[in-house]
Amino acid sequence: MDQPIKLKNNGQINIILHDQKKQHSHSTKMDREPYPMVEVPAKHPELKHIEEELANLVGLTEMKKMVKEIYAWLYINKKREEQGLKVGKQVLHMLFKGNPGTGKTTVARLLGKLFLQMNVLSKGHLIEAERADLVGEYIGHTAQKTRDLIKKAMGGILFVDEAYSLARGGEKDFGKEAIDTLVKHMEDKQHDFILILAGYSREMENFLSLNPGLKSRFPVVLDFPDYSVEQLMEIGKRILSDKEYQLTKDAEWELRNHLKELLLQNPRSFSNGRYVRNVIEKTIRSQAMRLLRNESYERQDLLLIQRHDLEFGVEI
């Protein structure tokens, strides 16, 4: 198993968020936790609050460790500053690499809350953007659009999804102007906002290779592996439980087999947790139509999702 955090020579931190499927059934020393989760004293309510929110999410084991480490780093830096000791530059621009639906936006939003509570950010809000929000139609337009978005993100996080699309057009494309503007402001205003670039792992690696000076500006790199079938089932069950629904055994079996098949057929395009949420929403509407037709309104009828209620015809 990969170590959860790898510090490279260039100072980047690589973090694997939720466990990938094991390739072997036997356990080795390398498969064990590299270090135990340490309880944080009650005098750190900011972190406790964020951990409570993270506990409601499936997977993200390594993210919870990462949150503690960033919190500890920031907290100890403050203590060092109080003692007149040197404090490292606290630049927190990040790269998120992974398929859609693996929790990248959710994690970014939670980090905004944590950094607000720790006074790292003055607002902690999240501004989501993609290529169309940054790239203009004529010379000078892109820089202005990008500056406007950065201005909105001041005090919070600017989250750019599918960031690699900014480099698709080559040197003459206006996307390069957006990249140059982002780089300038993440240097000039590095303590006023946090920039997170996100996208598919392979495309993000290619994007960074085209911009060799860009990678070193992101001290934290987070990999978001796909959820396993069991984790996806847990996500579905939690959504249903929150809404006071329950799968029958047949429905649970049908959903699990469907997810297994999708993961085999569409490992890159399958949208993970987002797809499961969409299936559940459509399935609940399907169950409502069945109950309405049959005039079945007993508590057990209202509670249970049957196998034939499941609706898989949603966008992946």
Q: 41: phi > 0 → left, psi -120 to 50 → alpha, else beta; which?
A: beta
Amino acid identity, position 46: E
Based on the fold, state whether residues 166 and 243 are members of the same structural domain. Answer: no
- What CATH code is carried by the domain that includes residue 124? 3.40.50.300
How much of the chain exceeds pLDDT 70, in percent? 82
Q: What is the pLDDT of residues 128-161, one digit of tens each?
A: 999 999 998 877 789 999 999 999 999 999 999 9
Q: What is the pLDDT of residues 252-272, one digit of tens each?
A: 999 999 999 988 887 665 668
Average pLDDT over residues 70-94: 86
- Pick the residue with more confidence: 102 or 198? 198
Residue 219 lies in a domain: yes
Based on the fold, state whether residues 245 and 214 are members of the same structural domain. Answer: no
> Which pairing describes strands 194-199 and 94-98: parallel, antiparallel, or unpaired?
parallel
The 3-state secondary structure of 160-227, one letter per residue = ECCHHHHHCCCCCCHHHHHHHHHHHHHHHCCCCCEEEEEECHHHHHHHHHHCHHHHCCCCEEEEECCC
Based on the fold, state whether residues 155 and 268 are members of the same structural domain. Answer: no
- Three-state DSSP class for residue 92: coil
Please report how many Cα atoms fall inside a 13 Å half-sphere around the Cα of residue 192, on the Cβ side: 10
Residue 314 lies in a domain: no
Distance CA 238, CA 260 (A): 19
Q: pLDDT tier at 99 (50, 70, 90 boundaries)?
A: confident
Q: How far is CA 128 from CA 99, 122, 144, 158, 162, in A?
A: 17, 18, 17, 6, 11
Distance CA 182, CA 147 (A): 8
pLDDT of residue 52: 80
- What CATH code is carried by the domain that includes residue 288? 1.10.8.60
Q: pLDDT tier at 309 (50, 70, 90 boundaries)?
A: very high
Residue 315 lies in a domain: no
pLDDT of residue 47: 75
Burial category of 123 from C-beta neighbours within 10 Å (exposed 0-12, middle 13-18, buried 19 and up): middle
pLDDT of residue 82: 92
Average pLDDT, the chain: 81
Based on the fold, state whether residues 249 and 116 are members of the same structural domain. Answer: no
Model confidence at 213: pLDDT above 70:
yes
pTM: 0.76
Distance CA 215, CA 205 (A): 9
Find which of 22-31, 88-97, 169-178, 193-202 is predicted with most confidence, using mean pLDDT.
193-202
Residues 94 and 220 sit within 8 Å (Cβ to Cβ): yes
Segments forming the whole domain that contains residue 184: 5-224
